[in-house]
Structure 1
Amino acid sequence: MSEDPNGASPRLAIVDGLRGYALMGLFLVHMLEYFELYWAHPAPTPVTTAVFTLFMGKTFSLLALCFGFSFFVMMDGAARRGQPFAGRFAWRLTLLAAIGMLHGLVYRGDIIVVLALAGFVLIPFDKVRSNRVLLAVAGLCFLQPYILLWIAAGAAGAPWALKPPHHFSDPAMATYLTGDLGQVLRANLWEGQVNKWWFFIETGRCVQVLGLFLVGLVLGRIGFFADPGRFRRGRAIALAAVALVAAACYGLKARTGGHGSGPVFWTNMLAGGWFDLSCMAASVLVFVQLWRAGGERVLRVLVPTGRMTLSLYVGQSLVFVPLFYPLGLGLYERMTPPLALAIGLAAIAVQLVLAAAWFKAFHYGPLEWLWRCGTRQSFGVPFRRRPEPQLA
């Protein structure tokens, strides 16, 4: 999710910082969701509402945007060296999907496999040289034709469009609330994954991911992050525009809430997706502006976490699923949103310190290194940093 493809492709600290911000925001969402168990009996509080409004749907979208940008970095670096990279990128995605599938056995909310499988679409689109065409396709994705179809069909009275979405039925949840490790693993092998994919399809996130990949690719091509000074005026205009869109979508979302099916429900889903996209875009624009206006010194604390997002993302589940679920300590039953938020913030501090210390001794995060070795089919990739030679 964050590994640079080869030694010749320079990393951009600002993108690593954005990726680190996205990962930490997504982690807070997972903490307030008790890694899925919150949805067994959702009970909104000011804390959950604040965290979900700030980060839910936005940080996931930001990771997808960064994924598209990373694809540009890899393909551009290979092109500069005169090396074909499409085949190697497909192999990298295959390995990433395998990591995601294994992670999904522990935590069914895994997004790695979603990003990996959707990433194959980027390969043919890299041959499209027109950025306008790419943005047009991305815009079509953001319009959510699938959801628009449901709205139109429901308004016309089609019975199938008036039913509740499939992901509202969640047979795996009962296993999460009572099952042991073996039962949870079995549930996540099929039932949990089916529910997750229905969620990504019905909320429009699958199509949204494709659009974000293409936007990330275009941002790489135009040097948006490499030379952000060129886009100062454009960023200001874009920030005003997305703020207006976010406000309009928030109002529409508020007016269409409370329905479990039908055209109004799907309109609410559509408005929520657009709200999340607008807020994500605003967060990128604000982050870039803060970075350039002197905030780089503070925001750089996020850079190491952005360089090992894959390892940290998987590690978060390996630690907190056993803490929350009955298969381990079962803290879900005694957890409150304020306590979950406090633990999450403390865990973020630990991850920031751990990542910074890690890169003093190693070149890559552990899973990033294994992923890189798998891509090259060799364990000859340097892992531990060599100590600096001492001057006499």
Structure 2
Amino acid sequence: MSERLAAPDVLRGIAIAGTFGTNIWVFADPRGPIGIIAGADDGWWADTALRAAANGKFLALLTLLFGVGVELQYRSAVRRGLRWPGRYLLRTAILFTEGLLHYLLVFEFDVLMGYAVAALPVAWLIGRSPRVRAVAAAAAGSAVVLIVGAVTVLTAGSTGADAPLPPYPATWAGQVHDRIVDAGLWRIELVVVVPSAVALFLAGAALLRAGVFDAAGTRLRHRLVVLGAAGAVLNVATTVAGPGWFVVERYLVAPLVALGLLGLVPELLFRLRAPAGPVRRGLTALGRTAMSCYVGQNLVAAVLFHAWGLGLATTFAALPAPVRTVAVAGTWAAVLVCSAVLASVWLRRFGRGPLELLTHRLLGVGVPADPTVRTGCRGGPGA
């Protein structure tokens, strides 16, 4: 497979690994997901650095790649003379249902529902003129800036650390009940996730059209790397500024870093031209089974950390800070390696991951896999 075709899968694998690097801290908090709202109260500088390094960057990268996938699906429909968005609307309905089940049964901070909602206007916009797409992306981006600015101002000076927190249910059924009852709290993030996704979907599609994965796209990739470096500097500034800048870091700074990764990884693949080693093969396998790995990793983390499972969140909380950090990071690495190995074994027999295969079956024979998976050599959609 050429570097141009391998890059999206590798990027998607990196995005899945990094997104789990964010989620695992949510699972590892014995206060439950409400802890991320209240703010960390028992960590140390290494925890802060690791959380800041992962916060939003890889999710933004995953979102950009979803936009790349929508563009590829649109091209495929045009090439085959099919009506657009046509069956793609069914795909978004399936994605929303999968996200809803993931939210209810596994994880409060599911992003798939937001992706499905954002994909609807983008499906209509993707075939419009560059001017219309640019205006829509600017409008969505402006909405994100306004929402993030308002949240930052309203929460200035308050970390929530002193507020009493309700106990997180110890049973799986209790957690499901809370997700239903408190859906307004846990799904409020969609207010910013959806416009952010619209802007990043359109940006990913535009970058694909501009040749970000082409051999001749070196100048574009270099510009993205510079933009990413500027984002990294801003990331350090927001981290030093304190938890009051968390939302700015997640939704305004993180996309800049993600754009840098989108330029850096393909450029390195073009330059290195070396045979794929175990790390690259593992990332590619994760990328080709992105939906399954995203949901599967969160499910495994729930079993490992929640009280109804192995209860590692409580066990790790009793450890000294440095040891706890190593334990959480080690668990992340272990789950990630296992995911890559299992994905590689699965792909030896099947062309897509389990959830991707299910979506394929629901859509019917001859329809590409789920939009959270596959860009590249087979023209499938991306995350």
Give the TM-score normalised by structure 1.
0.79
* Counterpart Cα distance in 2 of 1:258 and 1:380: 45
Aligned-residue offset at 1:103? 1.0
Aligned to 2:16: 23
Aligned to 1:352: 340
* Counterpart Cα distance in 1 of 2:219 and 2:366: 47
Residue 233 (structure 1) aligned with residue 245 (structure 2): no
**Gap change, CA 1:66 and 1:237, over 3 Å in 2:** closer
* Counterpart Cα distance in 1 of 2:139 and 2:335: 38
Aligned to 1:188: 179
Aligned to 1:244: 230
* Counterpart Cα distance in 2 of 1:61 and 1:53: 14
Deviations 1:263-317 (A, max 9, x none): xx6xx63355332111111122211121111166243431111111111111112
Q: Which has the larger radius of gyration?
A: 1
Aligned to 1:8: none
Aligned-residue offset at 1:148? 6.8
**Gap change, CA 1:214 and 1:33, over 3 Å in 2:** same
Q: Given that residues 222 and 264 in structure 2 are in contact (C-alpha distance below 8 angstroms), is that contact kept between their aligned partners in structure 1?
A: no
**Gap change, CA 1:254 and 1:25, over 3 Å in 2:** closer
* Counterpart Cα distance in 1 of 2:138 and 2:24: 32
**Gap change, CA 1:365 and 1:248, over 3 Å in 2:** closer
Q: 2:284 aligns with which of 300, 303, 313?
A: 303
Aligned to 1:318: 299
* Counterpart Cα distance in 1 of 2:174 and 2:163: 15
* Counterpart Cα distance in 2 of 1:365 and 1:258: 37
- Segments of 4+ in structure 1 off by > 6 A? 162-165, 167-171, 378-382
For 1:207-222, what aligned pairs fall within 5 Å after superposition? 207-222=195-210
Residue 277 (structure 1) aligned with residue 263 (structure 2): no
Q: How many residues align?
A: 348
Q: Given that residues 170 and 195 in structure 1 are in contact (C-alpha distance below 8 angstroms), is that contact kept between their aligned partners in structure 2?
A: no
* Counterpart Cα distance in 1 of 2:216 and 2:363: 35
Q: 1:338 aligns with which of 326, 329, 344?
A: 326
Aligned to 1:73: 72
**Gap change, CA 1:207 and 1:334, over 3 Å in 2:** same
* Counterpart Cα distance in 1 of 2:162 and 2:111: 20
Residue 205 (structure 1) aligned with residue 193 (structure 2): yes
Q: Given that residues 26 and 59 in structure 1 are in contact (C-alpha distance below 8 angstroms), is that contact kept between their aligned partners in structure 2?
A: yes
Give the TM-score normalised by structure 2.
0.80
**Gap change, CA 1:355 and 1:339, over 3 Å in 2:** same
**Gap change, CA 1:188 and 1:331, over 3 Å in 2:** same
Residue 368 (structure 1) aligned with residue 356 (structure 2): yes
Aligned-residue offset at 1:145? 4.2
* Counterpart Cα distance in 1 of 2:240 and 2:170: 39
Letter in 1 for 2:347: F
Aligned-residue offset at 1:363? 1.8
Tell me the SS of whatever aligns to 1:33.
helix
Aligned to 2:125: 125
Aligned-residue offset at 1:208? 1.6
Tell me the SS of whatever aligns to 1:104.
helix
Deviations 1:313-371 (A, max 9, x none): 11112222122111222211112221011111122111111111111111221111110
Aligned CA-pair RMSD: 3.2
Letter in 2 for 1:50: A
**Gap change, CA 1:245 and 1:17, over 3 Å in 2:** closer
**Gap change, CA 1:60 and 1:381, over 3 Å in 2:** closer
Q: Identity rate of aligned residues, in percent?
A: 24
* Counterpart Cα distance in 2 of 1:59 and 1:274: 13
Deviations 1:210-265 (A, max 9, x none): 1100011112323322x1x21212322332244235424643x2575355xxxxx6
Aligned-residue offset at 1:115? 1.0
Aligned-residue offset at 1:35? 5.8
Q: Which of 1 and 2 has higher RCO (CA within 8 Å, sep 6+)?
A: 2
Aligned to 1:3: none
* Counterpart Cα distance in 1 of 2:235 and 2:290: 30
* Counterpart Cα distance in 1 of 2:204 and 2:99: 21
Letter in 2 for 1:197: R
Gapped regions of structure 2 (runs ≥ 5): 317-323, 370-383
